[in-house]
Structure 1
Amino acid sequence: MTQTVLRAEAIGVVRGGRHLLADVSVTIEAGQSWVVLGPNGAGKSTLLSLFGAVAHPTSGTVHVLGHQLGRVDMRELRTHIGHVNPRHRVDAPLTARDVVLTGLTNTPEFVPRWSPKVEQIRRADDLIASLGLADRAGAPWQVMSQGERGRTLIARALIGEPHLLILDEPATGLDLAAREQLLAAMDGLRRSDPQLATVLVTHHIEEIPATTSHALLLRDGRIVAKGPAAAVLTSEAISACFDHPISIVGNNGRWFAQAVPHLETRAG
């Protein structure tokens, strides 16, 4: 029987008299890989704050890992959710391995009088290696590239063995090669942990991994389309979501976008 990891039912979020989300419903099962797309101001960040057990809805219900928000210790629930945020700050002189290990305490640096166990260090090294960074485990964070940091943050999010992984625009600031390495690492998660549910938020079609199974399109806080990725990531749906004519082309499991040029007619 497939396990439901997240279920949102008719959720709405109102802040300062403005509806950030309205009547949003979605169910995410174990092993599914979702992408959330939409223009700026669509409500993507607000939706992630609910999925990550950071905020409560104004109306409707959200169940995360079997617990209803508002009726559960949110801090405890967040320990079972991995969160990849490319804007994560590291000010202390930590190595890549150290940064991954701080995921166990969910703090930016080591907690006083806390030290990782041998098996935890071994798991950190295994995760780092699985993301193609075996030779960078001891590298200082400050000298690592943006791409290396991005993959390290995925390892940090995974070290607590979460059931749900949230990736908030993880390819931000990456060049082409680093982006492709990151996407390959994300595809690898499907093979290494097939029951892990993931939710990726991005602005760019080209940043969607090939293993993505489902998609949700948001505009003005409402769902434009949701369901299997192949059925949702179409020219028609994307054009409606971004209110602009866009052509979507699929190739080897990836998607690419191009604006449709306006055709001008001339009088004869």
Structure 2
Amino acid sequence: MTTIIELNQVSLKRNGQWILQNINWHINKHENWVLYGLNGAGKTALLNMLCAYYFPTEGSVKVLDKVFGRDYLAEKLRQKIGLVSSKLQQKFYPSDSAFEIVLSGAFASIGLYEKPTEKMREKAIGLLEELHCLPYADRAYETLSQGERQRVLIARALMADPELLILDEPTTGLDFLAREQLLDALSQITKRSTSPTLLYVTHHVEEILPVFTHTLLLKKGQVFDSGHTLDMLSNEKLSELFECNVAITWENNRATLRKN
């Protein structure tokens, strides 16, 4: 089975402080994972490492067959990784159209500086249609709602046929309807024959879809536990994680969390 991510005894020190410690994590192809933890758990640091912005202080990291410290990484690795986050939205030019934003994904650039081929244009239109963005394809990015922007960024990420698609708290700032539309779009992506491995980062259990079969629980920079999602989202497990009594309820294979 092809390994997408392989972290062995990984620790990270920044400014004299241990941010991550003893992380062991293996993700295989066709597994879709959730990285779940409270604010400050170390999720962002872990993502930065997966994208080769950070290198481990200790341990070994292998992402998409690239071994950190042995293979040339950075640009080549990131071309195989699609990244969607609310922070990424701020980097694009406000006057660019949604269509131009998506097309830029073919070149992994912020802005469109090269002339796209007709094949690229057709692919961008197909992705915009698939993610229900076609009605506003010609609108300026700055005029789009938060939810519309996120769907455009997902389409952009898919332009390069990534092997790994990382969604870093993509529903931040979305209302209920926009959140559910985005989650529906993710469910559709997993049905594609060319679907990448998905890594969904959140601190809201209600966002965890049935397509995410595995979950890693992160606490204070360490792996609290990992495994099948149904095993991780139990009353006992999450009560221990949060150090208070909580209860999970299930409806339509979606979880909600409340404090007892």
Q: Decide which moves more: 187-196 or 198-207.
A: 187-196
What is the alpha-carbon distance in structure 1 between the residues aligned to residue 176 and residue 94 of structure 2?
29
- Give the Å deviation of 1:101: 1.2
SS at match of 1:160: coil
- Alpha-carbon spacing, 1:160–1:142, altered in 2? closer, same or farther (3 Å): same
Does residue 109 of structure 2 align to residue 107 of structure 1?
yes
- Give the Å deviation of 1:192: 1.1
What is the alpha-carbon distance in structure 2 between the residues aligned to residue 254 and residue 166 of structure 1?
21
SS at match of 2:105: helix
- Give the Å deviation of 1:83: 0.5
Q: Which amino acid aligns with 2:48?
A: S
Q: Which amino acid aligns with 2:29?
A: A
Query: Equivalent residue for 1:81?
Result: 81
Query: Equivalent residue for 1:209?
Result: 209
Q: Which amino acid aligns with 2:26?
A: T
SS at match of 1:35: strand
Query: Equivalent residue for 2:134?
Result: 134
What is the alpha-carbon distance in structure 2 between the residues aligned to residue 152 and residue 15 of structure 1?
34
- Alpha-carbon spacing, 1:97–1:48, altered in 2? closer, same or farther (3 Å): same
SS at match of 1:192: coil
Q: Which amino acid aligns with 2:200?
A: L
Query: Equivalent residue for 1:258?
Result: 258
Query: Equivalent residue for 1:263?
Result: none
Q: TM-score, normalised by structure 1?
A: 0.92
Deviations 1:178-212 (A, max 9, x none): 00000001111110146521111111111222311
What is the alpha-carbon distance in structure 2 between the residues aligned to residue 56 and residue 72 of structure 1?
13
- Give the Å deviation of 1:84: 0.5
- Please show how residues 59-208 of structure 1 align to structure 2 within 5 Å: 59-73=58-72, 74-88=74-88, 89=90, 90-111=92-113, 114-193=114-193, 195-208=195-208
- Give the Å deviation of 1:105: 2.4
- Give the Å deviation of 1:250: 2.1
Q: Decide which moves more: 130-139 or 216-225.
A: 130-139
Q: Which amino acid aligns with 1:242?
A: F
Structure showing greater Rg: 1
Deviations 1:63-103 (A, max 9, x none): 11111112222211110111112222223411111111111
Query: Equivalent residue for 2:34?
Result: 35
Deviations 1:210-261 (A, max 9, x none): 311100001111111101111111122222222222111222221111111x
Query: Equivalent residue for 1:239?
Result: 239
Q: Which amino acid aligns with 1:23?
A: N
- Determine if contact 2:94/2:142 at 8 Å carries over to the other structure: no
Question: Which runs of 5 or more residues in structure 2 are unaligned?
Answer: none
- Determine if contact 1:82/1:165 at 8 Å carries over to the other structure: yes
- Determine if contact 2:81/2:166 at 8 Å carries over to the other structure: yes
How many percent identity over aligned positions? 35
> Cα RMSD over matched residues?
1.3
- Determine if contact 2:94/2:140 at 8 Å carries over to the other structure: no
Q: Which amino acid aligns with 1:53?
A: A
SS at match of 1:28: strand
Q: Which runs of 4+ in 1 moved over 4 A?
A: none
What is the alpha-carbon distance in structure 1 between the residues aligned to residue 242 and residue 45 of structure 2?
18
- Determine if contact 1:32/1:196 at 8 Å carries over to the other structure: no
What is the alpha-carbon distance in structure 2 between the residues aligned to residue 164 and residue 53 of structure 1?
14
Query: Equivalent residue for 1:44?
Result: 43
What is the alpha-carbon distance in structure 2 between the residues aligned to residue 141 and residue 15 of structure 1?
35
User: How many pairs align?
Assistant: 257
Q: Which amino acid aligns with 1:35?
A: V
Question: Which runs of 5 or more residues in structure 1 are unaligned?
Answer: 261-268
